[in-house]
Structure 1
Amino acid sequence: MTALAIHRKSFFRSSFFQILVIGIISFLGPGLWNANNSLGAGGALEPYLVKIVFALMGLLCISSAILANSIGVKHTLILGTLGWAPYSASLYQNNRYGTEWFVIFAAVICGISAGLYWAAEGAIVLAYPEHQKRGRYLAIWLAFKNSGQIVGGAINLGLNIHRSTGGKISYTTLLTFVILQAVAPAASFLISNPERVQREDGTRVNVEAKTSTWKQVRILWQTVSTPKLGLLLPLFFSDWFYWGYSSTFLTLYFSVRARALGSFLSAITGVIATTILGIFLDSQRWSLRHRAQTAGYFVMSVFTGILVWAMIIQYEYTHKNPGKLDWTSPGFGRGFGLYIMLGTAGNLVQNYLYWIVGSLGDGTQELTRHAGLLRGVESWGQCASFGINSSKFNPFYVVIINLVFWIISLPAAWFTLHQVGTVDLTKRAPSYNESSRTSKNDISSVIEK
């Protein structure tokens, strides 16, 4: 690539455009998928239908860096967008005709593709932007993802506004999701390869050289076994463990239209909260270390408090089942508010953890591993949570398990989190004027110090 080509600015190569595209894909794919499952596994009353997805997603997320090393982040992302529409189509078929085998088959396909998607998407969101804009761009990405849930919730609410009892959502809702999600693979072709991305500050996206598959396996093992990432794995497992409980809580205790409203409002509050957090994480008024620790104390304290509140509410509901609560029901606000707060706090925790793993490394392959580990271990936590819920385990004990996992994971995680900011990686991004030979080895040596 010539110097003239490098410096010829194109909006379609800008890091901002890449985030817009990945946001649109997130809106169409996982955003609408989340809207489905906010109504209880796509509207079916049994949550076990999604645990297959999470099990396979975790495995593929963690190992996806090996594939990305061979075919690149962009092509890994394209493969990762292929499973959303078939899964929603299977939910439509099951909802209308009771064809459950199709759900299981589509869950396998979705789990495999989603594993590739989350790791590649995470690498793009973390590696492509200018380092000092990472928090805001993460917020934009999560806003798009939650906007899918907002639109899905609005569709659900509009189609089911008169249904004040329990049951399944209209199959028309699911058919709408299938059509929208089928657009995601086409949108993924708009993403630029990392070496062609143009940042505003003139720095390049760090792209490591391809290596052998065996070497990638060794690097992955080293990443898992070192304190930098290894001590965060229990936190990754526990931070989305609440989602299985939250989905089941909404399904068990609320009417169809109340569930649709919950999906709609929790996404809006999540967008607002993560936007505020992203602005703070990018603020240059405070050091990287100060931002990492302050935000960490805040989001973890809030999430802990809400889990305690969930234990109190669930204890009441276990001993006196409120039935199917509608917004006209007495006491609706207590349980409904818990669901909104859980969703909002969960988004804050995930936004913060993505920012943390991005601050612990650089380069598309390294950040594919980091994002894959984060989302993969999270997925296994979700799989365990949905597995417990699908076995009719007492919801009160599910909350206790979640709280115990969460609290136990915090001390080990803080050992790593307190190291963030010792070296500010935003000052190590190579510029277009620097020799490309200095990018990888210099940054890697600084990170490990």
Structure 2
Amino acid sequence: MASFRRSVLAQMLICGVIALLGPGLWNANNSLGAGGALTPYLVNAGNSLVFGLMGLFCILSPIFVNWIGVKGTLIAGSLGWSVYSAALYQNNRYGTEWFVIFGAAICGVSAGLYWAAEGAIILSYPEHANRGRYLALWIAFKNGGQLIGGAINLGLNATKATAGSVSYITILVFVALQAIAAPLGLFLSPPHKTERSDGTRIVVEPKTPVKEQVRRLWQMILTPQILRLLPIFFSCWFYWGYASTYLTLYFSVRARALASFLSAVTGTLACILLGIFLDSKRLSVKARIRYGFIFTAGLFTLLWIWVLIVQHDFEMNRPPTLDWVSPGFGRAFGIYIMLQTSGNMVQNYLYFLMGTVNDGTLEMSRATGLLRGVESWGQCASFGISSSKFSPFYTTVINLVFWTVSLIPAVFSIWAVEDKRTLVEGQDSASEDAVVEALAEEKKDPVSQA
């Protein structure tokens, strides 16, 4: 019987709290629109740099996981959130601009390591039968950070019924809380010491040279099934720059604070329900993967059509600053809430998909690093577009086109999913060989590389 400290649940709770304090609060800040700033353009440029560097280091992070283990990589990846929030505080209170760009660079490198290590832990530690639920738990914690942050935002800005920047105290609270994230990583159990409830071992690939890690990463990228998923990875978070700008341009400070809070509530509930469905034993894995895709992708597509219609109306006749007592507030506000909610569901689904087609800590770090890296480049491009005064309507058109086109190759990969773990059409046996080697290594030496 596994001790609680070494149990999978304990590791998920530790990762969840880190996700709450780090990216969760960062998301809460960005859910205010432009990090709570008066205008979106500088912060959008900073966010573009964050996601550009994050994408690169997400994809390269398996090298670090192979070198210092998932635990060390996670700790290193938790250091940058508070630095960027501190830069946003300086900009909000004193108008400092250079620190936003510097903080964005630090955060981008750090977050790239964080996301791949976190994804590897969340998807490789749990037994296969419970991955959807644990993924939903992690998403709930991450959105819980946005929920807490949103409550702080709302409490400190509830009287601001006009446009403007949020209280700088809001961001200062975030800086203090995010600084706690990295030390919590010290309590994480390495994979070779973690005990699953079903008695199975966590596959840990033996350490290999950097050149071999690069070879395996490139091999994964060129796998036909993964290659066809890259467009949807890019487009699934491409909307965020538009959503942040939309909220900043059209809503009052307290409405932005309400959006930060409410989108966390709806996103958390939606992902929990999706996670329960994805772990359902009543349907085969193949059926869950297909139905999950139809629901999440279909909802997101219909939502973009709605966004296009409303944004066109705003383009023809820009509304005054919308507060929660303004006429037409519900229609415009609902778009943002639904966009964030369905976006979270799409990401939750894609993580589950990658967890289904891969196994082992290093293989998972490559898979999640690739997923999060390409997602980040989509966000980089999105915030890059939104850092200028480019028309929000044409930004919406670009989003809808990118998303719709990305669904076509994704369908071929998702429909290739079988009920067993091996799903990749035409894939050679390199990944399986790595798993066999790791299992053999574990039999020789039960204390595997972390």
TM-score with structure 2 length normalisation?
0.93
> Which residue, out of 23, 29, 32, partners 2:16?
23
Letter of the aligned partner of 1:18 in structure 2?
Answer: Q
Q: Distance in 2 between matches of 1:271 and 1:38?
A: 15
Contact 1:292 1:421 in 2 (8 A): no
Letter of the aligned partner of 1:437 in structure 2?
Answer: A
Match of 2:405 in 1: 408
Letter of the aligned partner of 1:187 in structure 2?
Answer: L
Residue 9 (structure 1) aligned with residue 12 (structure 2)? no
Q: What is the Cα deviation at residue 42 of structure 1?
A: 1.2
Residue 365 (structure 1) aligned with residue 362 (structure 2)? yes
Letter of the aligned partner of 1:232 in structure 2?
Answer: L
> Which residue, out of 231, 234, 242, partners 2:231?
234
Q: Distance in 1 between matches of 2:34 and 2:102?
A: 15
- 1:74-120 C-alpha deviation (Å, 9 max, x unpaired): 10001000001111111111111111111111111100000000000
Q: What is the Cα deviation at residue 424 of structure 1?
A: 4.0
Contact 2:206 2:441 in 1 (8 A): no
Q: Distance in 2 between matches of 1:349 and 1:439?
A: 36
Q: Distance in 1 between matches of 2:111 and 2:84?
A: 11
Residue 282 (structure 1) aligned with residue 279 (structure 2)? yes
Aligned pairs for 1:36-185 within 5 A: 36-44=29-37, 45-46=39-40, 47-185=44-182
Contact 1:288 1:424 in 2 (8 A): no
Q: Distance in 2 between matches of 1:251 and 1:218?
A: 43
Match of 2:327 in 1: 330
Q: Distance in 2 between matches of 1:436 and 1:66?
A: 21
Match of 1:252 in 2: 249
Q: What is the Cα deviation at residue 40 of structure 1?
A: 2.1
Contact 2:20 2:142 in 1 (8 A): yes
Q: What is the Cα deviation at residue 333 of structure 1?
A: 0.4
- The more displaced of 115-124 and 48-57 is 48-57
SS, match of residue 72 in structure 1: helix
SS, match of residue 42 in structure 1: helix
Letter of the aligned partner of 2:364 in structure 1?
Answer: L
Q: Distance in 2 between matches of 1:439 and 1:363?
A: 13
Q: Distance in 2 between matches of 1:288 and 1:93?
A: 49
Aligned pairs for 1:282-301 within 5 A: 282-301=279-298
Match of 1:339 in 2: 336
Alpha-carbon distance change, 425 to 200 in structure 1, aligned in 2, over 3 angstroms: farther
SS, match of residue 261 in structure 1: helix
- The more displaced of 26-35 and 91-100 is 91-100
- 1:305-338 C-alpha deviation (Å, 9 max, x unpaired): 0011000010001111112100010000001000
Match of 1:5 in 2: none
Contact 2:358 2:421 in 1 (8 A): no
Q: Distance in 1 between matches of 2:116 and 2:2?
A: 28
Q: Distance in 2 between matches of 1:222 and 1:11?
A: 38
Identity of aligned pairs, percent? Answer: 60
Q: How many residues align?
A: 427
SS, match of residue 147 in structure 2: helix
Q: What is the Cα deviation at residue 49 of structure 1?
A: 2.3
SS, match of residue 35 in structure 2: coil
Contact 1:31 1:146 in 2 (8 A): yes
Letter of the aligned partner of 2:15 in structure 1?
Answer: I
Q: Distance in 1 between matches of 2:269 and 2:12?
A: 18
5+ residue gaps in structure 2?
424-431, 433-437, 444-450
Match of 1:3 in 2: none
- 1:349-380 C-alpha deviation (Å, 9 max, x unpaired): 00000000010110000000100011110010
Contact 1:159 1:170 in 2 (8 A): yes
Match of 1:445 in 2: none
- 1:149-175 C-alpha deviation (Å, 9 max, x unpaired): 111111111111110001111010011
TM-score with structure 1 length normalisation?
0.93
SS, match of residue 18 in structure 2: helix
Q: What is the Cα deviation at residue 187 of structure 1?
A: 0.7
Alpha-carbon distance change, 134 to 439 in structure 1, aligned in 2, over 3 angstroms: farther
Letter of the aligned partner of 1:360 in structure 2?
Answer: V
Q: What is the Cα deviation at residue 425 of structure 1?
A: 6.6
CA RMSD after TM alignment: 1.7
Q: Distance in 2 between matches of 1:425 and 1:191?
A: 29
5+ residue gaps in structure 1?
1-7, 430-434, 441-449
Letter of the aligned partner of 1:22 in structure 2?
Answer: C
